[in-house]
Structure 1
């Protein structure tokens, strides 16, 4: 296949950009002396994950047990399910472990820890459990100084489960856009997670793994003493949110959506394309940032940004391309019907999730089809 042969809309991966992104992250974490466990929820694609492992990644992070099942079937067994475990999913986790998957699960409450321990004893299974630590109030986890941390650790260890370590995610890093702030948040993530590990060890509990990570902090941390591994996901594709955060250029964004101009509203300065929110997703992550790209940044078919043109609005199967801050009444001449464009996404994870496959564009112009999967 070639780019010209693809129907639109289509999700494209620029393989050269993806490869540079993978190598950049791996080099950085190798230099900082920690193992790297990429989060595969961004792409859910075997070809991408194999490239990450070939570059030096050790194990993977997943956000659904479906991901764990799919990647275990591809031969990857060192897997962390980085979402709080609920009792109803323990049978699914048990089945994976019984088939030989080294699945690690996560707890951040006594209820969860007790349920895991009870289920493990009932089925003769020693689950490896990591405790999630809250380092920034972003989402879930136990604050490192909370006595609950020790109580959860004891509930697991005293009942025969393996206390594998602690895990944190500085999700608040997405809210910043200066290097100084990102360095500060990265150090906060490191210091608080290491502190949680130290408290567990001081209480006589094991804590071999200290796992942290987000794309902004992984690319900004200046030191990682006490950390054993880092997790990050969206770095492999990058997106406009990460561009606004300040950790990539638009020329680093490896995922785009190929679309075709199908009409115009010239008096409004609109070109209508065949990629709506079903192709781009409804994610408007840049709306809360200093530079709002609407539903995505418009590029030529060969991937070069076209100035201030964005996908300013979207219906289910229609997108509206316009010039930000101005009305271009020459838009029909600029983008005639049949013109093919690429749209860089706000959030690579959300846009990827709209498509059953990626079209991987190689440097020689050839295109391969890489399947991705859905579900839980």
Structure 2
């Protein structure tokens, strides 16, 4: 049987360029190793054992996930040190305990004293837990607000004093780095991130409470931080694939985007200078993050477009409306022809698919499918 090409695939399909993926992984791996910081990649982007194994190559294997489904999937794949990076609730502690009894060091996160007490109580039944306290370093999503850090010592003492509970350390996610678009701006957020978690760790240690792990996050700060002093690990995620948002932030170059959506042209509409493709909101997502820096990207840009600024400018559920800044040469895009669309946000676009069709631009320009990687979706 002949090897599949992109023309053989059903559309829409999720395409991953292995050559670009490997370059992205190598760049981050070397950057953090040279900085003396451990890499705990956030695999919520890839949700793939194959990508996860490549991401931790040369490191100690620690990873981050965002759902219990991911935790089980990566545990089944042999990963043993897993941070479940979303605030835990007491109802999920039995599932956490079940995985830990399998020999998986599944760690949880909280910023709440009542949850800390629930963890301590659950440990009385024989389960063990490893817990991070989350700090809000400026992103405004979750965590104890820095610099006040209200309740930090109370939460820490509940955890530290509970038999069977390990206070693993402190963590943060500098999500506000996604709104910067210059190296200096991102570096300033990275320094804010560093000061927040290092400050929290120092406060714990001054109170006689150990804080072994000081964990930062975000691809932009991992790429642009100028000082990692006091940080023990970083948890970048989207760097494995990159996307239009990361390109315009300045975390990567246009040639570093490994992920695209393959779509078919299904309609020509010269009266409005548009074509239709069979990749709509469910195939691309309605994330518009990159529009903050370049509105013309719409819901994704067309690879090797035959017209300037060609992008999916509107979406319905299964239709993508493709427009351009100049007249579209319809002869270059006959009905049934294929286009590849670069997503605004790789994590959310990829969540629509159960597999990656893997190509390799260093082998044949990325025309043949060289592998298929599975993904874990849902919760």
TM-score by length of 1: 0.95
- Does structure 1 residue 14 correspond to structure 2 residue 17? yes
Alpha-carbon distance change, 351 to 135 in structure 1, aligned in 2, over 3 angstroms:
same
Alpha-carbon distance change, 105 to 256 in structure 1, aligned in 2, over 3 angstroms:
same
Q: 1:354 — aligned with what?
A: 352
Residue 46 of structure 1, CA deviation: 1.1
The question of whether the paired residues in 2 share the 8 Å contact of 1:23 and 1:55 is answered with no
| In structure 2, distance between residues paired with 1:110 and 1:263 | 57
User: SS of the residue aligned with 1:338?
Assistant: coil
Q: 2:363 — aligned with what?
A: 364
- Does structure 1 residue 293 correspond to structure 2 residue 297? yes
- Superposed CA deviations along residues 66-124 of structure 1, whole A, max 9, x for unmatched, are 11100000100110011111011001101000111111111101111111111111x21
The equivalences for 1:253-272 within 5 A come to 253-272=257-276
| In structure 1, distance between residues paired with 2:312 and 2:57 | 36
Q: 2:87 — aligned with what?
A: 84
Q: 1:42 — aligned with what?
A: 45
The question of whether the paired residues in 1 share the 8 Å contact of 2:264 and 2:338 is answered with yes
Q: 1:249 — aligned with what?
A: 253
| In structure 1, distance between residues paired with 2:133 and 2:179 | 25
Q: 1:187 — aligned with what?
A: 191
User: SS of the residue aligned with 2:271?
Assistant: helix
Residue 331 of structure 1, CA deviation: 3.6
The equivalences for 1:141-290 within 5 A come to 141-144=143-146, 145-160=148-163, 161-290=165-294
| In structure 1, distance between residues paired with 2:91 and 2:210 | 27
The question of whether the paired residues in 2 share the 8 Å contact of 1:157 and 1:205 is answered with yes
- Superposed CA deviations along residues 196-230 of structure 1, whole A, max 9, x for unmatched, are 00000101111000000100000001111111101
Residue 55 of structure 1, CA deviation: 4.5
| In structure 1, distance between residues paired with 2:287 and 2:86 | 21
| In structure 1, distance between residues paired with 2:306 and 2:120 | 53
The equivalences for 1:274-353 within 5 A come to 274-300=278-304, 307-323=308-324, 326=325, 328=327, 330-353=328-351
Residue 287 of structure 1, CA deviation: 2.9
* Structure 2 residues without counterparts, runs of 5 or longer: none
Alpha-carbon distance change, 286 to 68 in structure 1, aligned in 2, over 3 angstroms:
same
Query: How much is the aligned-residue C-alpha RMSD, in angstroms?
Result: 1.5
The question of whether the paired residues in 2 share the 8 Å contact of 1:266 and 1:331 is answered with no
Moved more, 21-30 or 133-142: 133-142
The question of whether the paired residues in 2 share the 8 Å contact of 1:297 and 1:344 is answered with yes
Equivalent pairs counted in the alignment come to 369
| In structure 1, distance between residues paired with 2:126 and 2:227 | 41
| In structure 1, distance between residues paired with 2:306 and 2:259 | 13
Q: 2:111 — aligned with what?
A: 108
| In structure 1, distance between residues paired with 2:223 and 2:161 | 38
Residue 338 of structure 1, CA deviation: 2.3
- Does structure 1 residue 138 correspond to structure 2 residue 140? yes
User: SS of the residue aligned with 2:144?
Assistant: coil
**Deviating 4+ runs (over 6 angstroms):** none
Residue 137 of structure 1, CA deviation: 4.1
| In structure 2, distance between residues paired with 1:327 and 1:308 | 8
| In structure 2, distance between residues paired with 1:53 and 1:156 | 29
TM-score by length of 2: 0.94
